[in-house]
A and B are shown apart, each in its own frame.
Chain A
Amino acid sequence: SIHFNDPKFPQQWHLNNRRSPGRDINVTGVWERNVTGRGVTVVVVDDGVEHTIQDIAPNYCPEGSYDLNSNDPDPMPHPDTENGNHHGTRCAGEIAAVPNNSFCAVGVAYGSRIAGIRVLDGPLTDSMEAVAFNKHYQINDIYSCSWGPDDDGKTVDGPHQLGKAALQHGVMAGRQGFGSIFVVASGNGGQHNDNCNYDGYANSIYTVTIGAVDEEGRMPFYAEECASMLAVTFSGGDKMLRSIVTTDWDLQKGTGCTEGHTGTSAAAPLAAGMIALMLQVRPCLTWRDVQHIIVFTATQYEDRRADWLTNEAGFSHSHQHGFGLLNAWRLVNAAKIWTSVPYLASYVSPVLKENKAIPQSPRSLEVLWNVSRMDLDMSGLKTLEHVAVTVSISHPRRGSLELTLFCPSGMMSLIGAPRSMDSDPNGFNDWTFSTVRCWGERARGIYRLVVRDVGDEPLQVGVLQRWQLTLYGSVWSPIDIRDRQRLLEGAMSGKYLHDGFALPCPPGLKIPEEDGYVLTPNTLKMLVLVGCFTVFWTVYYMLELYLSQRNMASSPGCRSGPCHWPPQSRRPREEGTELESVPLCNSKAADSTEMENGGPSRTSERRTPDLLHEGDWSLAQNKRALDGPHQHPPPDLLQGKEDQIC
């Protein structure tokens, strides 16, 4: 029943697929119930957002925006030689493009507000990244990041100390304490056998890692596999398949609309938009509630190449598609009735020093660690969410290594996939891999790490120096999880999705944004200019005063006796002000003025003091100069002073 006059809306198959029904994010039913992201702010952390474009301007949120490349509040993209800085604007359009404006397209959460943080268009350091992740974090609810380390199949990188601290600070203090939601794209390294477990943004427990599928639901050529991927949503595929239609910038070759947005860059913002819909119906969802709802509601679907595996808690996960396709209807209905999960519990094993050789495939090195009930008593940890393994391994060709983790249930996770392009001789130094495939399973039991060398070196050359296991989860029992699954299925009819039903939702904490009043550089420059101007004129005026005083002191009229001052009120006045208050008009003018006022002039004395000598005449001249073009005849200094200036 939804009809928008946006010219490209019919081509937006990811929103409503008429050609292949069901191959979309299933959002129209949610829109029909007025769930559009109202009251939620999504910030696109990228190369800028052209917020003046028609599709974005009405939803633009300047309070949540900033430009870290130019250090000013306006994140407008700067055209560059490659016509490349349209990325952020396209992502923003996917999230919040305005409907029914007869322009281009419609966003998933077209009722939400969209902000931009421009950070990719220039040199980027850890400190800038840390600032970006917490910028306006009481205004921005969701941070959509469609970028990451190189997807070249040989990079191992991610947020460093500062970036990790900012992500952690964001989930603890962001969004009034409910936690900022960080959505990241899983990576486009598919052609280089890349795996998003070598990307610290994607395998962080604090981020929602989103992969891509094409219109046929398949893993596109560019997509990466990953044990820490939560879910997938739509994006472009190969040439035969449609890409994502969204708003574009209109700078350089841009027309304001594009049909060619693709990559995992296009998938992450769609997920961010769906999370905005969830937060409208339930603003008090914590960052972990959002992750749980994704796990519980993502849908597995038929894809022969996908290695779906169902874990002990009944969740199906595949390295290609995570827990499956995001479905807006399911996400929002689950959010509507979701009560918060228990606090995050964790367990960290000791650092397990092994120093064991890694045999050549098909043999493998296997190390175990048993997590006992006693180990978990302290934290109360019962069921798992993320499982992380930090390893240090030496090997002359890092890409030859394969790391597999088995949870106590036997669920297998390929956490370190071999990478043919990765010939780095430095191995791994405390690199952390993670998996979500054991989500909901019991935490207690024996964890098995299997390391293989699949390279073709003749000798075994790799050594596992040490490893450490970290478990994240909660006190939920397997029964609690099954109960929650049943509860959600009961809500999928949509019977709760109306305004009459709302669970209590705490308002959250008032957390002041730490950054004080920040003077933007422009303001600063203005202040400096005004300051200089003021100083200059003060100095000039003092000089003027001093010179005229000195002249006055040296003029004959005063030398022979007291200076004749016009009769003024007897009130004592400071020396200096007399001059300032002396009228520059001559007595006639003064008389005439008095005549106009009806009263005879009481004195014929010159109202102009006889101090209009050489030096003072300059005052008269200046006065005339300020008065502009109509020049009085050059005054005769000695005669008729009263004819002088007015």
Chain B
Amino acid sequence: LAETSGPVTQSSGGLSWAVHLHSPEGEWEEENLARQANAVAQAAGLVNAGRIGELQGHFLFVQPAGHREAAEAEAMRQQAEAVLAEHAAVRWHSEQRLLKRAKR
């Protein structure tokens, strides 16, 4: 629960993808986008963890909780990659990796 409260800031340590959806025109954009995000996440076997900060149309999809063998996780990664790459609603997606940042 803690991980998915409100707009997401961090995945729970598993695989995660940042996804930018095509924005449907018209009313209730936010609603449509959220619904669509859930559908795309589900299709990719992931969980929609919410919008990324203030960036409209940008969502974080995370791996459903639970421990997996490496092989299974890899299979899941490939499946998710394939679905997100093909999905018509996805404008852009990128698997989240740890950034190396240093204090100056």
Contact = CB atoms under 8 A, between A and B. Distances in A.
Interface of A: 46-47, 68-69, 71, 87, 120, 123-135, 137, 146-151, 155, 157, 160-162, 165-166, 169, 173, 185, 187-188, 263-265, 268, 513-521, 524-525, 528
Given A125-B11, A126-B96, A265-B104, A514 B1 contact: no
A160 B99 CA distance: 10
A169 B10 CA distance: 20
Interface residues on B, range: 20 to 34
Contacts of B8: 127, 131
Nearest to B54: A134
Contacts of B1: 521, 524-525, 528
B3 to A, nearest CB: 7
A351 to B, nearest CB: 20
Interface stretch (B37-45, B55-63, B69-77, B82-90): B55-63
Nearest to A184: B104
B91 to A, nearest CB: 11
A161 to B, nearest CB: 6
A71 B104 contact: no
Given A68-B10, A161-B94, A127 B54 contact: no
Given A124-B99, A150-B102, A521-B1, A514 B10 contact: no
For the complex, would chain B's binding face be called helix, strand, loop or mixed by DSSP majority? loop
A515 B34 CA distance: 13
Interface in B19-36: 20
Contacts of A87: 103
A123 B98 contact: yes
Interface of B: 1-3, 5-11, 13, 16, 18, 20, 51-56, 58, 60, 92, 94, 96-104
Given A147-B103, A148-B104, A151-B104, A514 B56 contact: yes
Contacts of B58: 127, 130, 162, 165
A187 B102 CA distance: 9
Contact of B104 (A137, A147, A157, A515): A147
B65 to A, nearest CB: 15
B96 A525 contact: no
A128 B94 CA distance: 14
B2 A130 contact: no
A84 to B, nearest CB: 8
B103 A127 contact: no
In this complex, the member of B11, B18, B52 whose beta carbon has the largest number of chain A beta carbons within 10 angstroms is B52
6 contacts: A127-B10, A131-B53, A134-B53, A148-B104, A169-B55, A265-B103
A137 B3 CA distance: 22
B6 A516 contact: yes
Nearest to A134: B54
Contact of B54 (A69, A513, A525): A513
Contacts of A137: 54
Given A131-B7, A520-B5, A162 B102 contact: no
B55 to A, nearest CB: 6
A149 B92 CA distance: 24
Contacts of A520: 5
Contact of B51 (A129, A132, A263, A514): A514
A526 to B, nearest CB: 11
The 9 A-B pairs of least Cβ separation, nearest first, read A518-B6, A521-B2, A131-B53, A134-B54, A125-B96, A185-B104, A265-B104, A515-B7, A68-B9
A515 B53 contact: yes
Contacts of B54: 134, 137, 166, 169, 173, 513-515
Nearest to A516: B6
Given A87-B103, A162-B52, A131 B9 contact: yes
A262 to B, nearest CB: 10
B103 A146 contact: yes
A127 B99 contact: no
Given A127-B60, A162-B18, A169-B54, A518 B7 contact: yes
Contact of B55 (A124, A150, A166): A166
A155 B1 CA distance: 37
Contact of A126 (B5, B18, B104): B18
Nearest to B55: A165
